[in-house]
């Protein structure tokens, strides 16, 4: 009786599988003829055993029937479609929706649950994620493992793992299930359970082909095909097909819509990449460390530079940009000029000026005490200063008090911030004295830093009257500080030289200190490029680490690659999976680096009293660089994984 007749009715039923003159030859000297002129047909609902000794061609026949390997001769049809005429991507899509595999080695991911392993069986069939889990749960229940859904494969017996593998093969309701030595790794009792399970599935209408060398196992199957030396030497059927009510006829589909590969979602790619990294956590962490260090260095360098600049510019805004200075210059002979003693008063009469203060540099030196050698000046200068100096230059008294009309006439001194440090004085105590110009001066106070007048920081200041009385100073100012109206800074700037020294304006120099501070803030960024380049070296090292782990991963995961191809993954999908894994690894390193860089920037900026500034270029550029390095590093390993033959991958496990 023909299969069509057994199914009832006179309509034509398309066979699940047809092989017509199939041959497979592997190149070599001499060539290896693995299959020779194999012709057979498997109808819906059949339970077929393919038997033969080792080396007879059974595994090659399985791979050809499962579309994992292309024959070199003949024609093959799967559910009526001519497989030999399809592209690799079309075959992969057909395999994902039509064939279920059960392997002797189980090929279960030991780091995910049984339910997740089954859901992966639908990944390349275009089934939505929620539906995948629902159907996986039903499939587990069908093989009696509903209570093991959350178990890892390592916590299951061999028989239970094989049941999971069978459930994965059935979860997509394939037209054909191919089982390669499904009881080969099991004890007798577990093997009998698996055989009984397969028989029960066949009675419910599943078409099953079992590859085995166990003739006792094959004897319990309705049909046996014997293969020897690559040829079918015997084909018999010892029982009828499954009843019609349990078998769904397979008919030719009029279109090829099912041959379009499933499109993996971003969620799927991230989940697969995370699972791949999770299996090798320590190695992945060490590889990501190089990326993290490079990104952290980049973010910290750019963040600290931006924070420093922001802090300095904020200080400039606080101090104001309307301060101008007039200082002694040189004449055309290179000799030092000298401003008239009346210069401050003449400048004060200039329209647009708001405040005027001045200092005069003395030739005297200052020491902690007279026992200090005269050559150890420490770079300190002694200056006569007007009593209204501090508000004009934008600083204040840190300790003690500043000069007033009375103390400006007495041997009393005030120290700039750096001068106090140089002399080892951090407090102003009654009777505190320093040695200035060969005599004692009492210490009145210590100033805070003066960013707009850094020369004051290294100065010992005394009053103009005291300088004239005790140190024979001629009272000529050497520097005049001018606060101009904000709207008239440029106008005042252009007239200051002539106003300070009408007879020879060229002997004085006029400057705007805030410009120097702005230039200094900009100069801080000049070294940023150097440090970023050093950070790039760390990124390069991290990229090499990512490439290394991915290459090793491809070598170690050949079985996974072969399984995914068997489940219907295309070469492109394998390539994208491993590329995504490399990018996720680098991206996680980049995020860790960004966090570390921002933290380092914040801690240092807070200690310096700066605003915390992390420019978008720092974190966005760092993350983009990490992802780019991940993509570049993973490109070659991903290509190697995609180029790996599924049959070769499965054979080398």
Query: What are 81-140's pLDDT values in tens digits?
Result: 999 889 999 999 999 989 999 988 888 888 889 999 999 888 898 889 889 999 999 999
Cα–Cα distance measured from residue 443 to residue 433, given in angstroms and rounded to the nearest whole number: 5
**CB-CB contact of 284 with 243 (8 Å):** no
pLDDT number for residue 228: 92
Q: What is the mean pLDDT of residues 320-340?
A: 78
What's residue 518's pLDDT?
A: 62
What whole-number distance in Å separates Cα of residue 99 and Cα of residue 89? 15
pLDDT of 637 higher than 50: yes
Q: Which residue has the higher pLDDT, 548 or 564?
A: 564
Q: Round to the nearest angstrom and report the end-to-end CA distance of the chain.
A: 43
The domains found in the chain, sorted by start residue, are: 14-242 (3.40.50.300), 276-314+525-651 (no CATH), 320-523 (no CATH)
**Which segment of 391-400, 464-473, 488-497 scores lowest on mean pLDDT?**
488-497
Cα 358 from Cα 346, distance rounded (Å): 12
pLDDT band at 12 (very low <50, low <70, confident <90, very high): low
DSSP 8-state class, residue 403? -
- Per-residue pLDDT tens over the stretch 231-267: 999 988 644 444 433 444 444 443 455 678 888 888 8
Residue percentage of the chain with pLDDT more than 90: 40
Cα separations in angstroms, 224 against 4, 40, 87: 20, 12, 32
Query: What is the model's pLDDT at position 388?
Result: 94
pLDDT at residue 316, as a whole number: 67
Between CA 373 and CA 368 the distance in angstroms is 10
Strands 439-447 and 397-400: antiparallel
Closest CA to 320 of 114, 99, 481: 481
What is the C-alpha to C-alpha distance for residues 307 and 615, in angstroms, rounded to an integer?
9
Put residue 248 in one of left, alpha, beta given phi > 0 → left and psi -120 to 50 → alpha: beta
How far out from the chain centre does Cα 180 lie? 41
User: Which 3 state secondary structure label does DSSP give 412?
Assistant: strand
Beta-ladder partners of 447: 397
Q: How would DSSP label each residue in 225-267?
A: EEEETTEEEEEEE-SPPPPGGG---B---SS-GGGSPPPPPHH
Cα separations in angstroms, 144 against 13, 141, 371:
32, 5, 98
How remote is the C-alpha of 462 from its chain's centroid?
Answer: 60
**More confident position, 441 or 204:** 441
C-alpha distance from residue 355 to each of 187, 361, 389, 390 (Å): 101, 21, 9, 11
**Percent of the chain beyond pLDDT 70?**
89
Half-sphere exposure of 463 (CA within 13 A, CB side): 20
| Contact predicate 580/269, CB 8 Å | yes
The pLDDT value given to residue 245: 36
pLDDT value of residue 579: 92
287 closest CA partner among 623, 582, 620, 591: 582
Q: pLDDT at position 242, please?
A: 43
Tell me how far apart the alpha carbons of residues 48 and 419 are, in angstroms, rounded to a whole number: 99
Report CA Rg, the chain. 44
Torsion (CA) 207, 213, 214, 217 in degrees, nearest 10:
10
**pLDDT (0 to 100) of residue 319:** 66
DSSP assignment letter at 372: S
Q: H helices of 30-87, where? A: 58-65
């Amino acid at each position: 009786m023909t299969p069509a007749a057994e199914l009832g009715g006179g309509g034509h039923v398309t066979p699940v599988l047809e092989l017509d003159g199939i041959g497979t030859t592997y190149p070599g000297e001499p060539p290896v003829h693995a299959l020779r002129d194999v012709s057979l047909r498997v109808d819906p609902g059949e339970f077929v055993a393919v038997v033969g000794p080792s080396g007879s061609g059974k595994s090659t026949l399985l791979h050809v029937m499962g579309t994992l390997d292309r024959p070199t001769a003949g024609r093959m049809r799967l559910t009526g479609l001519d497989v030999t005429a399809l592209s690799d991507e079309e075959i992969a899509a057909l395999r994902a929706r039509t064939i279920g595999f059960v392997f002797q080695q189980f090929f279960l991911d030991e780091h995910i649950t049984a339910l997740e392993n089954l859901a992966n069986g639908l990944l390349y069939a275009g089934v939505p994620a929620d539906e995948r889990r629902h159907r996986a749960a039903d499939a587990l229940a069908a093989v009696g493992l509903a209570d093991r859904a959350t178990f890892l494969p390592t916590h299951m017996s061999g028989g239970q793992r094989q049941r999971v593998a069978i459930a994965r093969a059935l979860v997509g309701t394939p037209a054909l299930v191919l089982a390669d030595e499904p009881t080969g790794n099991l004890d007798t009792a577990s093997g009998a359970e698996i055989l009984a399970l397969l028989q029960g599935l066949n009675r419910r209408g599943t078409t099953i082909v079992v590859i085995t060398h166990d003739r006792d196992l094959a004897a319990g199957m309705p049909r046996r095909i014997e293969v020897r030396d690559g040829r079918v030497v015997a084909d018999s059927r010892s029982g009828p097909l499954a009843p019609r009510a349990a078998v769904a006829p397979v008919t030719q589909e009029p279109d090829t819509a099912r041959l379009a590969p499933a499109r993996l979602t971003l969620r799927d790619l991230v989940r697969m990449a995370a699972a791949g990294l999770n299996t090798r956590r320590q190695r992945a962490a060490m590889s990501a460390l190089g990326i993290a260090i490079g990104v952290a260095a980049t973010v910290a360098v750019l963040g600290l530079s931006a924070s420093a600049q922001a802090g300095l510019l904020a200080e400039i805004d606080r101090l104001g940009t309307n301060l101008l200075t007039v200082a002694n210059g040189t004449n055309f002979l290179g000799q030092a000029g000298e401003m008239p003693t009346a210069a401050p008063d003449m400048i004060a009469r200039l329209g647009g000026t708001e405040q005027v203060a001045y200092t005069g540099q003395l030739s005297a030196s200052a020491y902690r005490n007279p026992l200090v050698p005269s050559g150890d000046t420490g770079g300190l200068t002694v200056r006569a200063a007007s009593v209204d100096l501090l508000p004009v230059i934008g600083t204040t008294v840190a300790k003690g008090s500043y000069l007033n009309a009375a103390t400006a006439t007495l041997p009393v001194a005030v120290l700039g911030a750096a001068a106090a440090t140089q002399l080892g004085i951090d407090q102003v105590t009654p009777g505190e004295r320093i040695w200035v110009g060969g005599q004692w001066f009492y210490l009145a106070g210590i100033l805070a830093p003066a960013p707009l007048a850094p020369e004051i920081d290294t100065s010992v200041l005394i009053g103009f009257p005291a300088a004239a009385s005790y140190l024979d100073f001629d009272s000529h100012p050497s520097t005049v500080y001018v606060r101009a109206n904000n709207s008239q800074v440029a106008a005042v700037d252009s007239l200051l030289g002539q106003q300070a020294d009408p007879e020879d304006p060229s002997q004085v120099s006029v400057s705007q200190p805030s410009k120097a501070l702005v230039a200094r803030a900009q100069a801080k960024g000049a070294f940023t490029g150097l440090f970023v380049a050093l950070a790039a070296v760390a990124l390069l090292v991290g990229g090499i680490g990512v490439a290394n782990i991915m290459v090793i991963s491809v070598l170690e995961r050949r079985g996974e690659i072969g399984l995914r191809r068997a489940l219907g993954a295309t070469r492109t999908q394998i390539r994208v999976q491993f590329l995504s894994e490399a990018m996720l690894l680098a991206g996680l390193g980049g995020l860790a680096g960004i966090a570390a860089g921002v933290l380092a920037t914040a801690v240092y900026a807070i200690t310096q009293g700066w605003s915390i500034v992390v420019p978008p270029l720092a974190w966005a550029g760092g993350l983009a660089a990490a992802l780019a390095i991940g993509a570049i590093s993973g490109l070659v390993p991903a290509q190697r994984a995609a180029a790996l033959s599924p049959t070769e991958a499965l054979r080398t496990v």
